[in-house]
Each structure stands twice: as C-alpha cells, then as structure tokens.
C-alpha cells in the first residue's frame, strides 16, 4: 500500500467533495500505469515498424493484413493488463457525482473494465471494428486476421482514429460541453500537447471551473491549471478520492 500523499491541495479535496458536475480527462499516462505500452517511443516499436507507419488510412489501403496483425497484437497485449488504482478511483468518482463525464484519449477500454460507464472515447476503441462501407460496428472478441463486414461484405477497419483523421465531431462537442459546464475538471496522465484534446481544459477555465492537473511532469497546461500535482495518477487520484469522500 502506498503511503498517504501530503501534496494534494485542500482546494482539490473540497472541490471534488462538493462537485455537482465533474469531468475527468485521461491520457496515455493512466494506461501506462497498467503496463500498457505507450503508443510512441521505444515501446511502440513492433516488427521494425513505428506506429505512425501503421496507424494510417494509407497503410491500411496498402496492406490491411499487416495493419490488422498489429491491431490484434495490441488488443491481446491490452487484454493482459488490468485496471490500476487511477481507473478504479475514477470509477468511484462516477458513483459519487450525478453529472459525471469521463473523456479519454485511450483506446484500451480499461476504464470500462474498472466500472466506468459514462465514457467518451475521443480516439475510438481498440476492441471494435468499423465497416469502411456501411459504418457498421462489430466487437472483435475472438476475431483474427482481416475482418470482413457480416452485413455488407465490406472491409472492416479498427474503430480508432488514425493519424491524419479527424475526431468524431459529435463526441468532441459532447466533451467540450461536459468540460464547459463542469465545476471540477481533473486532467490526468496526459501531456496536453495533442489537439484538440489539449484544448478541452480551457473550456472549463473559461467558465471559472476548477481544473486539477495530475501528471508525472509539467505540461503546457500547468501554467493555466488551478492546481497541479506531480506524480503517478493512481497514487494521487486514489488518495484524492479517499480524502474527498471519506473513504478508508
């Protein structure tokens, strides 16, 4: 068990305890604490390919078999990982606050496995496929190789946002609305450099919402956030929930 953290601002504890509209944004740092390999860097290398060489519409057009092999491997890798204290703490926040929205840049579904239900997946879901022809969505459980649509016979692709593609505008707009109306926003485990996700926190700040940043290192958001706690998301959020909601 981790020792209690002494650096969590009293204001953060009170804001979470009193929150009537809570939003949480999570990035790759939260998943990394479960052992999920980071998308970029040395851990992202697979069979001498970098992610940016495979996560594109062009790569899928040129060699769908190779792209699907990589995504099936990623999915199996993620399934071997378990939700960590950050995922669990966020799920407990949802139980406590009626107007709650979780906005994640992660595609691993670990938040859902921890019990979170109100989740906006900005970059899609690694465990589903989408038909390139009719847009039908299917679960990938038990699937291997190139996936074909059972409805129209079209080519299925991973249901994720690739390099060069835009986010689903409906999901993005809902995320902005959730941040804009929040009285408390927690931004955890993200470098806050990838747009448009990096701009979401400012929707809360512009409406006088409280913004708590939790990250291992300072980010471009640090100078604007109401409070910042440097450290592992699991340790910080677990302690924050205990203090805000009187959990032992």
Q: Which of these is catalytic: 87, 111, 123, 127?
A: 123
Residue 76 token pair: 């199996």
196: pLDDT confidence band, cut at 50, 70 and 90? very high
123 included as an active-site residue: yes
Question: What would the mean pLDDT of 51-61 be, rounded to a whole number?
Answer: 88
Q: Look up the pTM and report it.
A: 0.93
Residue 144 token pair: 């291997």
* CA distance linking residue 193 with residue 190, whole number of Å: 8
Q: Which CATH architecture has domain 37-80+125-160?
A: 2-Layer Sandwich (3.30)
The predicted-structure confidence for 98-138, as pLDDT tens digits, reads as follows: 999 999 999 999 999 999 999 999 999 999 999 999 999 99
Pair 181, 207: CB distance under 8 Å: yes
Pair 194, 220: CB distance under 8 Å: no
In percent, the amount of the chain with pLDDT more than 90 equals 85
Question: What would the mean pLDDT of 177-187 be, rounded to a whole number?
Answer: 98
Mean pLDDT of the chain: 93
The residues pairing with 23 across neighbouring beta strands, listed in sequence order, are: 101, 185
Q: Does domain 10-35+83-123+167-245 have CATH number 3.40.50.1220?
A: yes
pLDDT of residue 43: 57
Residue spans per domain, the chain? 10-35+83-123+167-245, 37-80+125-160
């Amino acid at each position: 068990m981790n020792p209690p953290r002494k650096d969590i601002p009293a204001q953060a504890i009170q804001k979470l305890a009193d929150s009537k509209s809570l939003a949480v944004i999570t990035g790759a740092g939260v998943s990394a604490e479960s052992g999920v390999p980071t998308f970029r860097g040395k851990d992202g290398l697979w069979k001498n390919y970098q992610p940016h060489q495979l996560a594109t519409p062009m790569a899928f057009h040129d060699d769908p078999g190779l792209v699907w092999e990589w995504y099936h491997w990623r999915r199996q890798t993620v399934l071997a990982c378990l939700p960590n204290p950050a995922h669990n703490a966020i799920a407990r926040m949802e139980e406590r606050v009626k107007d709650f929205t979780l906005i994640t840049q992660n595609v691993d579904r670990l938040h859902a496995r921890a019990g979170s239900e109100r989740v906006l997946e900005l970059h899609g879901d690694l465990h589903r496929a989408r038909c390139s022809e009719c847009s039908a969505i299917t679960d990938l459980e038990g699937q291997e190789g190139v996936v074909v649509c059972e409805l129209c016979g079209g080519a299925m692709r991973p249901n994720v946002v690739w390099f060069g593609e835009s986010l689903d505008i409906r999901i993005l707009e809902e995320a902005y609305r959730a941040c804009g109306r929040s009285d408390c926003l927690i931004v955890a485990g993200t470098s806050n450099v990838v747009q448009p996700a990096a701009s979401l926190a400012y929707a809360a700040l512009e409406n006088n919402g409280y913004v708590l940043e939790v990250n291992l290192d300072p980010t471009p958001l640090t100078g604007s956030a109401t409070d910042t706690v440097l450290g592992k998301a699991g340790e910080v959020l677990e302690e924050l929930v205990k203090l805000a909601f009187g959990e032992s």
